[in-house]
């Protein structure tokens, strides 16, 4: 009688679990590509470094389709132009195919080139809920040599917030006055609600005293600072993954479905602005992200 090989129950269960994990990781990677949380060039590099990784086993067709603004038609034309077979996986590309794909990616998704000249005016921005406030608070506590700008806002203080430390809490009339007297370097309405602005005088004083100044502001504010002070160093804080950002944004589940959807749409639009910045920092954990910001500040002070 022929011997039948029986796969032990535990192995089968473990294999099934692994397959599910793998599918999840692949889906999560696609979301990271679509939302620009990860650069396609980084994914390609990882795929080549390890063929068996999630990146390495990704089909070239899925990879291209996950990129922002690439549909099926465009994907097929690109594959034809680059002479890459649609059955290929990223980790299985030949040297020539890799080279042409990399060149195409660089043309379409330019990689940030850190600027050589740096100013002592640093701006930290990023999508909603990425944790810029926490990173800034960490720097306030551990790096007193850096002047952290205190913004003016029309929103009410939260429990524990101190006027003059976390914000200058002002009313609408006072905010109008600050704008009229040109006392704000930038200002914006954030989350369609309150107004926030950066008082100009303390920043000028700190810069004149040779200090590094850090602004933790929203995207609209960062753009205004760039226009007013083109030499400012703009830093964009990224989440470790899109799924992680979603968790941080909607995880508490206290908002209505419509509000959650609105926040996610906003986050996608905000992530798409990252190429306007000089540096990208991934907020894997607060202490490391803060250290990277401080690193930029000390090199900028030189
Ligand atoms: P929160 O009300 O939670 O403290 O801050 C809400 C948002 O306002 C954050 O994304 C923060 O970056 C932004 N923000 C804080 N201060 C300023 C500011 O002076 N200017 C601008 N444009 N945004 C600010």
Domain count, the chain: 2
| Residue 103 and residue 125 share a domain | no
pLDDT digits (tens, 9 = 90+) for 203-228: 999 999 999 999 999 999 999 999 99
- The answer to whether residue 282 is domain-embedded is yes
- CB-count burial class (<10 Å; 0-12, 13-18, 19+) for 162: exposed
Closest residue by Cα to atom 12, ligand 1, is 217
Task: Read off the tokens for 30.
Answer: 């696609």
88 known ligand binder: no
Q: What's the burial of 87, exposed, middle or buried (CB within 10 Å: 0-12/13-18/19+)?
A: exposed
Task: For ligand 1, atom 11, name the residue with the nearest CA.
Answer: 217
- The answer, yes or no, to whether any atom of ligand 1 lies below 6 A from the CB of 220, is yes
Please indicate, yes or no, whether residues 27 and 53 belong to a single structural domain of this protein. Answer: yes
Q: Residue 115 falls within a domain, yes or no? A: no
3-state secondary structure of 294: helix
Domain range for 93 is 13-108
Residue 71 in any domain: the answer is yes
Compute the distance between CA of residue 133 and CA of residue 131 in angstroms, rounded to an integer: 5
Nearest CA to ligand 1 atom 20: 197
- Which pTM value belongs to this model? 0.83
In this structure, the answer to whether residues 47 and 129 fall within a common structural domain is: no
Q: Answer whether residue 96 is part of any domain.
A: yes
Residue 232: the pLDDT is: 93
Mean pLDDT, each 10-residue run in order, the chain (302 residues) = 68 90 94 94 96 96 95 96 97 96 94 66 94 95 95 96 96 97 96 92 93 96 93 95 91 75 89 93 96 81 44
Q: 243 near 251, Cβ under 8 Å?
A: no
Considering the domain boundaries, does residue 163 fall inside one? no
Which atom of ligand 1 is nearest the CA belonging to 197? 19
157 marked as binding residue: no
SS3 273: coil
190 CB near ligand 1 (under 6 Å): yes
CATH number for position 128? 3.40.50.300
Mark whether 84 and 47 lie in a shared domain.
Answer: yes
Residue 289 lies in a domain: yes
CA of 60 to the centre of ligand 1 (A): 40
Decide if 143 contacts 294 (C-beta within 8 A).
yes
Pocket lining: 198 vs ligand 1, CB cutoff 6 Å: yes
Residues 145, 271 share a domain = yes
For the segment 79-132, what is each residue's pLDDT rounded down to a tens digit?
Answer: 999 999 999 999 999 999 999 999 999 999 987 766 655 579 999 999 988 999
CA distance 148 to 156: 21
* Centroid of ligand 1 to alpha carbon of 184 (angstroms): 14
Domain contains 171: no
Structure tokens at 148: 């952290």
Q: Are 215 and 136 in contact (CB under 8 A)?
A: no
Percent of the chain surpassing pLDDT 90: 78
Measured in residues, the chain has a length of 302
- From 6, 130, 68, 78, select the one nearest 275 (Cα to Cα): 68
* CATH number of the domain encompassing residue 75: 1.10.8.50
Strands 167-169 and 151-153 come out as: parallel
104 and 229 fall within a common domain: no
Say if residues 55 and 15 touch (Cβ distance below 8 Å): no
Q: At which of 73, 108, 143 does a domain end?
A: 108
């Amino acid at each position: 009688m022929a011997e039948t090989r029986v796969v032990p129950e535990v192995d089968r269960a473990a294999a099934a679990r692994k397959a599910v994990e793998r599918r999840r990781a692949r889906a999560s990677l696609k979301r990271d590509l679509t939302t620009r949380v990860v650069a396609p060039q980084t994914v390609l590099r990882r795929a080549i470094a390890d063929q068996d990784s999630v990146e390495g086993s990704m089909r070239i067709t899925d990879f291209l389709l996950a990129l922002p603004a690439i549909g099926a038609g465009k994907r097929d034309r690109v594959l034809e132009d680059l002479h890459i077979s649609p059955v290929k996986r990223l980790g299985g590309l030949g040297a020539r195919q890799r080279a042409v794909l990399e060149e195409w990616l660089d043309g379409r998704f330019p990689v940030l080139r850190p600027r050589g000249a740096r100013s002592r005016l640093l701006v930290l921005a990023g999508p909603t809920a990425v944790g810029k406030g926490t990173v800034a608070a960490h720097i306030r506590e551990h790096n007193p040599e850096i002047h952290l700008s205190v913004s003016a806002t029309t929103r009410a203080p939260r429990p524990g917030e101190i006027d003059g430390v976390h914000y200058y809490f002002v009313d609408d009339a006072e905010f109008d006055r600050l704008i009229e007297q040109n006392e704000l370097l930038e200002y914006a309405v954030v989350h369609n609600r309150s107004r926030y602005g950066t008082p100009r005088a303390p920043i000028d004083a700190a810069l004149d005293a040779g200090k590094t100044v850090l602004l933790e502001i929203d995207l609209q504010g960062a753009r205004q600072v760039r226009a007013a002070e083109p030499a400012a160093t703009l830093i964009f804080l990224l989440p470790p993954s899109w799924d992680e950002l979603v968790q941080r944004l909607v995880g508490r589940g206290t908002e209505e479905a419509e509000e959650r959807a609105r926040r996610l749409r906003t986050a996608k639009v905000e992530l798409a602005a990252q190429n306007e910045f000089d540096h990208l920092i991934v907020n894997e954990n607060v202490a490391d992200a803060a250290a990277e910001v401080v690193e930029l500040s000390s090199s900028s002070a030189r």
